[in-house]
Copies of this chain bind each other. A is one copy, B any other.
Amino acid sequence: MTTSTTFRPVIAIHGGAGTITRASITPAQQQAYRDALRDVLQGAQQKLAAGAPAEEVAVEAVRLLEECPLFNAGRGAVFTADATHEMDACVMRGRDLACGSLAGVSTVRNPVRAALALMEAGGPVFMIGEAAERFAQAQGCEMVARDWFSTEQRLTQLRTVQAAALASGREQVALDHTAQSQTQAAPLDERKKMGTVGAVVLDVHGQLAAATSTGGLTNKKPGRVGDSPVVGAGTYAKHGVVAVSCTGVGEAFIRGSAAHTVAARIELLGESVDQATAEVIHRVLPPLGGDGGLIAVGADGEVSLCFNSEGMYRGQIGIDGEALVAIYANEALAPA
């Protein structure tokens, strides 16, 4: 495949998908999410316009999402059943299929930057646990105390889920983003909440990259890894084809090789980005319980923000245009 002769550089981001309805969030909360998405897009746009390579732009967007406590990655990551944080991240560069993935890190301030450092080091592409943290530290990544990631809201979320589990007598995990996570009022439905952040970029040089970062599931078993750091499942980028970042029920996205299936359909069948993402989100994943969504950008800058849940925090921005964001299904992108 070759780079398209005409293409529009672009950044697309997501901040997780799930049961996000107008009725479940106050207007002020909605606006806070829209503002946050806009700020992230504008921050990453500066790098895009300055000619930074796609992977650096994608990592900057995800870093900004990690820094924002509204989203389940980095600061604001949800708690495991042991009241700890375990984060995963991945970055992939389309040009040469270089990638870096980390899983189960607890002391790296920005897991996505550690993933980039791993990619750039040119050795292992996937590292886990404390060894991954030692690697990140040796590469100069900023390290923080384990409780740096904790927020009061996420702890309340954990206690709510654990109380519900006790009451129901069965194990429960919760994805992120629902009425309940905002108000602690709605009944728990573990299928309705999922949280991950991600970015896909087509840079000014016509190169693609994708990055994803997650705090996992509230009350998840420690040691559980979802699709985010699994190349081909939650994250994938290939030159001349597509860059993809997913969010949703990680198990289904792994079983369905979600991100690579999008790429394979474009590359092998000649489908458009919209066709391939719709096929995966609406046909491949649902039979696997794959609630969620993904963002994708093709070699010409065609963007797809596709999901089968009731909402997905999402947005996109060109090299000099305005940031456009949306939250709900059937909602057009618009300025924040």
A residues engaging B (CB < 8 A)? Answer: 97-99, 103-104, 123-132, 134-135, 171, 220-226, 230-233, 236, 250-251, 254-257, 260-261, 264-265, 268-269, 288
Q: How far is the CB of A193 from chain B (nearest CB, A)?
A: 16
* B residues near A134, Cβ cutoff 8 Å: 223
* B residues near A264, Cβ cutoff 8 Å: 260-261, 264, 268
CB closest chain-B residue, reference A223:
B131
- Which of A125, A250, A260 gathers the greatest number of chain B CB atoms within 10 Å? A125
How far apart are the CA atoms of A129 and B133 in the complex, in Å? 14
Q: How far is the CB of A26 from chain B (nearest CB, A)?
A: 33
Which of B98, B131, B236, B251 is A124 in contact with, Cβ under 8 Å? Answer: B251
* B residues near A103, Cβ cutoff 8 Å: 103, 128, 225
How far apart are the CA atoms of A134 and B81 in the complex, in Å? 14
* CB pair B230 A231 closer than 8 Å: yes
Which of B124, B256, B260 is A224 in contact with, Cβ under 8 Å? Answer: B124
How far apart are the CA atoms of A318 and B251 in the complex, in Å? 33
Which of B127, B131, B171, B257 is A257 in contact with, Cβ under 8 Å? Answer: B257
* B residues near A233, Cβ cutoff 8 Å: 231-232
How far apart are the CA atoms of A288 and B268 in the complex, in Å? 20
* CB pair B288 A224 closer than 8 Å: no
* CB pair B231 A257 closer than 8 Å: yes
* B residues near A129, Cβ cutoff 8 Å: 104, 128-129, 223
Q: How far is the CB of A80 from chain B (nearest CB, A)?
A: 9
Which of B104, B126, B254, B260 is A99 in contact with, Cβ under 8 Å? Answer: B254
Contact of A254 with B126 at beta-carbon distance under 8 Å, contacts A230-B230, A232-B233 already known: yes
CB closest chain-B residue, reference A125:
B251
* B residues near A230, Cβ cutoff 8 Å: 126, 230-232
Other than the known A124-B224, A132-B223, what 19 A-B pairs have Cβ atoms closer than 8 Å? A97-B255, A97-B256, A103-B225, A124-B220, A124-B225, A125-B250, A125-B251, A125-B255, A126-B225, A126-B230, A128-B128, A128-B223, A131-B224, A134-B223, A230-B232, A232-B257, A257-B257, A260-B264, A268-B268
- Which of A98, A128, A256 gathers the greatest number of chain B CB atoms within 10 Å? A128
* B residues near A221, Cβ cutoff 8 Å: 123-124, 127, 131, 135
